[in-house]
Amino acid sequence: MASRASLPSPRDIDRQHPGNSHRRHCVPEPEPEPEPEPEPEPEMEPETETRTEAREDEVLVRMRVALPDSPGSLGRLAWTLGVIGADILQVSVLETGSGRAIDELSLRLGSLTVDQLTERVETIPGVRVLAVWRPRAMVATAAVAVFGQLAADPGRAVATLVDAVPDLFGADWAALVGTGPTPTPVLTSVRAPASPALGAITPGRPRGTSLADGTTAASAPLTADTVLVVARIAGPAFHRTEIDRLDQVSRAAAAVLAGIGAAPPAGDAARRPTDDAVSPPVDAGRSAVDGAGRRAG
């Protein structure tokens, strides 16, 4: 019986064909996947700075309106203002009851005129514009911030109070007035006239009044012999809610002044040389009054 031909072993094959060993024992590595091309970075729009102060060409006003005291009335007013391009900065409710409400709004008008604003708002059924004016500060200062400044600097506390009051009430100027036989300004704020035409000032109780030159004013006792007076040159008469608030501010300020040992100045004093000084703008929740008040001579 013929012997079966022996088959070459794998080792013999490797000796004869060395390359086979590599092909048989080494698994080829997978080819690396091509790296994706980086996506082009999107073009960034130039950053715009958020404005907190109005441009010179912007019209910033306060508007006092009477409207129905019913659900949705303020919403309809806000919707109309948005449609005509007026931005609402702040809303204050002055009065409610008997089916009517009186609200006060701080607005940025954009390209609107005051006449256009009034005309469009009064197209809303039941809404009547009572007044539109441009106050010194658009957003009311928080009274608590003012009291904090009084306590922080007792030496200038009374002057700080007098300078801050106009911004608390959307007014133009303020004065601390002595309650003698003839009312005499003891300390005045910036923008106050050199010789305010005070007329008759009632020392005993808070009240609204008109000064001798027709300026609208409100007053409230600060101490036993001084009255705090705040005035609007072109705005509406002070609402009774504002007068009550002035009285509250005056009482609280008097308590702070007594607590820190600060007393209103008495007698004549030289007028501050910076008569034309201008207070910085006021932000909500922050008193912008950093300068001293002006003593009246």
Q: Count of CB atoms within 10 A of residue 82's CB?
A: 11
Is residue 130 pLDDT above 90, yes or no? yes
For residue 41, the model assigns a pLDDT of: 45
163: left (phi over 0), alpha (psi -120 to 50) or beta: alpha
Q: By the 8 A CB rule, do 132 and 107 touch?
A: no
> What tokens were used for 35?
């790296």
Q: Which residue has the higher pLDDT, 194 or 200?
A: 194
Is residue 200 exposed (0-12), middle (13-18) or buried (19+ Cβ within 10 Å)? exposed
What is the rounded CA–CA span in Å between residue 244 and residue 250? 10
> What tokens were used for 241?
């809610």
> What tokens were used for 124?
């809303």
Q: Which residue has the higher pLDDT, 259 or 181?
A: 259
Mean pLDDT of the residues in the chain? 74
For residue 178, the model assigns a pLDDT of: 86
Q: Which residue has the higher pLDDT, 5 or 221?
A: 221
Q: By the 8 A CB rule, do 59 and 116 touch?
A: no
| pTM of the model as a whole | 0.60
Tens-place pLDDT, residues 136-188: 655 555 677 888 888 888 889 999 999 999 988 889 999 998 887 777 888 99
Is residue 125 pLDDT above 60, yes or no? yes
